[in-house]
Structure 1
């Protein structure tokens, strides 16, 4: 069975040889290669198909998403095309094993399309329907599998916007093993359509799972964490999120519906409660913060297993060796690692050791070296320290350097207290983003170097 790709037609064919729709007359192939097999889903913002690549010897299957627009001309559509191209490039850069790879994007017959890797398997919503409510161990595993994925996309300034059990897939090859969950169906298409057509009252997401600020039109990294928390309590209870929230008392009452008389691991319950906070200051702001809390809870609880991740590459293309930095961070030698970070940044720039770095230096710092340093700090601090953590905090305060310093525990410079003499805290109880420190930054206006570093990370 194959379908006509015309959004207003979708006439079904049993013939494998037909090349034009006998109903509307349009070509049946998208971009002269993709043939639609079946309709997967339809919503107000688009249609999703399962398709086959007619040019591929193995007839590889893909997911194709078509955007819906009331009118395919005018300024609204031009804006949509512009946003479409920008967001498609951003999505194509999300190379992660737990995110379907964006393989192609194109315009055809005045329609916009995304072509993504097809993931064979079941969604967690389907698992819930077939197997019943999830156990605590399964929720531990879910959080452990997905929080690093959210950290990955948020560092790259992408917000999913529509996390729910229907958009979390377990690969068929690993079904039942509790590993390798895949985050599907990013809300980019919905965001582009709503923005381009000036639907100012349109919210992107699914009712019941959206955070309060997202319902008001402002999605943040913390909004994805809220949706993840709602997904967890729905899977734990099998109850609709609408019924798990008590409007009269303005609070979640999910514990009342947990099997075994509401008994839940205290540490897991506390994490879920913080994910579900309506007020942003009381909720986890970043995935790194939630992941750190999760890892701390896992250490104190013997039931979930800790899965070790492989080391990152430790030799950059410019010849810098990061093994010593890895060893210092693994040994929790934060102060020595902080000093070595400065030395290695200089080495990557071919500057004398401990030379101060300025804006132009940051712009010339190789992305690979910056990413290796960042990933090592993230890994061994359990997500508390690292340049990308600092970037998230800097952007959360809209680039206000004073607020940024207050959040991460850096004191603003004073005439009687040079910035390089400020007190730093070299332990994991230091504020989020406290390390690496600013000792590498030259000049008296350190905020400029931090701003340059944030911009550099955004480009890498």
Structure 2
């Protein structure tokens, strides 16, 4: 069908081959080239149509945006057209990026303004969320890594999107890449916007506080990006993710049951959505730097020492080379996700405490109960292997029960020499001696704080015997 774009037309739907509207008699093509076929969106600032480009041999699909220009004030109309042409040129420049729709044309026809852009086959993230459910942490990382470089391209050209939200991001069908659409041109040329020097452009649920007051900054787009992330994680309207009384975000309270977000990602999201601009990331580069640097803030690991038969190197290679090395297997249903996240973030102290917790759970004891030698013997092999595999992998072979177990024979099972090698005192004491850093001696972690009983020092022998079976 063909769709008439004349404002006020009572029956805009026409046959495919019609040249003029059967209702109002208006020409149905724009610039004798673009034929609107279907209304696909509308709002207070204009309408969006799926169209056919009849100027191409294969009649490719495109998107036509009709922007409302309702003022009767000649000077105001002139200003609106001038601003429209200016913004259109900026869109043309942005369209050079492969993840931003190309601008095919822009013009005025019958006192209406039009943008014609490349059609992106795919689904908006808003629709994807409704059909497939909320995103997990891995998907949010992919989202940020895919979209942030696009936003950097935009900001590097001194342009602010102003309306980042899930419905303005399309996952392209052909390659799965995210495409950023609908820059806020339409709202900039409205009568109210033209009368004011600072104009609030954006969608209330996602817009930054300063943008609501008419001041849009690069950090404003980053705020909207962060709010988009927490919406994708929860599926809950951003309006409901805040504690109004305390003016704080409470998005973690709305995560689906069983869903977890690592401290690393949480810190990034929390900083993106800070209400105060000066507490937020100031540029896309700052966010990209945070994403790439955060896991590397621990000291650079020392080279692995070469022990007898190079056993430490071999165990590290064995664990990290496993195709299923990240599977969190438990014979008794213990969840090791938190331990994995802590280790991946380099939070060695918290991971050491969590190791105590999961070991207690694995042998059926209450958390932070001391484990006797008999408890260590009862530790399910699969669980012990999972805990150890995580420690070895994320410490790059420096920490883990297997590392400790392979060190013990190199000192002829002499516990005093073993303690000296891994940096422990020979007597049971508090954790003040521990170094929660990759600069600690090889085998220093996990600690022995969970050991109880009068023969606590024999735990190393028992651990070594359990690993000798695997």
Q: TM-score range by the shorter chain?
A: 0.5 to 0.7
Report the counterpart of residue 120 of structure 2 in structure 1: 119
Q: 1:113 to 1:298 in 2, by over 3 A?
A: farther
TM value normalised by structure 1: 0.62
Q: 1:285 to 1:113 in 2, by over 3 A?
A: same
**Take 2:196 and 2:24, find their aligned partners in 1: how far apart are those partners?**
31
Aligned: 1:32 with 2:32 = yes
**Take 1:159 and 1:294, find their aligned partners in 2: how far apart are those partners?**
22
Report the counterpart of residue 201 of structure 2 in structure 1: 204
SS of residue paired to 1:113: strand
SS of residue paired to 2:6: coil
- Contact 2:69/2:111, CA 8 A, preserved across alignment: no
Gaps of 5+ in 1: 303-460
Report the counterpart of residue 186 of structure 2 in structure 1: 189
Aligned: 1:15 with 2:15 = yes
Q: 1:7 to 1:200 in 2, by over 3 A?
A: farther
Bigger shift: residues 280-289 or 73-82: 73-82
Q: 1:252 to 1:20 in 2, by over 3 A?
A: same
Q: 1:12: how far off?
A: 3.8
Q: 1:264: how far off?
A: 1.3
TM value normalised by structure 2: 0.61
Report the counterpart of residue 429 of structure 2 in structure 1: none
- Contact 1:3/1:11, CA 8 A, preserved across alignment: no
Report the counterpart of residue 217 of structure 1 in structure 2: 214
Aligned: 1:61 with 2:58 = no
- Contact 2:14/2:22, CA 8 A, preserved across alignment: no
Q: 1:165 to 1:174 in 2, by over 3 A?
A: same
CA deviations on 1:218-241 (whole Å, 9 max, x unpaired) are 111000000000000000001000
Report the counterpart of residue 248 of structure 1 in structure 2: 245
Q: 1:261: how far off?
A: 5.3
Q: 1:287 aligns with which of 280, 284, 289?
A: 284
- Contact 1:4/1:21, CA 8 A, preserved across alignment: yes
Q: 2:272 aligns with which of 233, 255, 275?
A: 275
Report the counterpart of residue 44 of structure 2 in structure 1: 44
CA deviations on 1:361-409 (whole Å, 9 max, x unpaired) are xxxxxxxxxxxxxxxxxxxxxxxxxxxxxxxxxxxxxxxxxxxxxxxxx
SS of residue paired to 1:161: coil
- Contact 1:194/1:200, CA 8 A, preserved across alignment: no
**Take 2:77 and 2:138, find their aligned partners in 1: how far apart are those partners?**
47
**Take 2:114 and 2:22, find their aligned partners in 1: how far apart are those partners?**
23
- Contact 1:3/1:10, CA 8 A, preserved across alignment: no
CA deviations on 1:400-445 (whole Å, 9 max, x unpaired) are xxxxxxxxxxxxxxxxxxxxxxxxxxxxxxxxxxxxxxxxxxxxxx
Runs of 4+ in 1 over 6 A off after TM superposition: none
Bigger shift: residues 246-255 or 202-211: 202-211
- Contact 2:136/2:259, CA 8 A, preserved across alignment: no
Q: 1:13: how far off?
A: 3.6
Q: 1:192: how far off?
A: 2.5
Q: 1:260: how far off?
A: 3.9
Q: 1:254 to 1:49 in 2, by over 3 A?
A: same
Q: 1:299 to 1:138 in 2, by over 3 A?
A: farther
Number of equivalenced pairs: 298
Q: 1:203: how far off?
A: 2.0
**Take 1:144 and 1:254, find their aligned partners in 2: how far apart are those partners?**
21
Report the counterpart of residue 376 of structure 2 in structure 1: none
Report the counterpart of residue 155 of structure 1 in structure 2: 156
Q: 1:21 to 1:140 in 2, by over 3 A?
A: same
Report the counterpart of residue 89 of structure 2 in structure 1: 89
- Contact 2:198/2:215, CA 8 A, preserved across alignment: no
Aligned pairs for 1:304-315 (under 5 A) are none
Q: 1:194: how far off?
A: 5.1
SS of residue paired to 1:119: coil
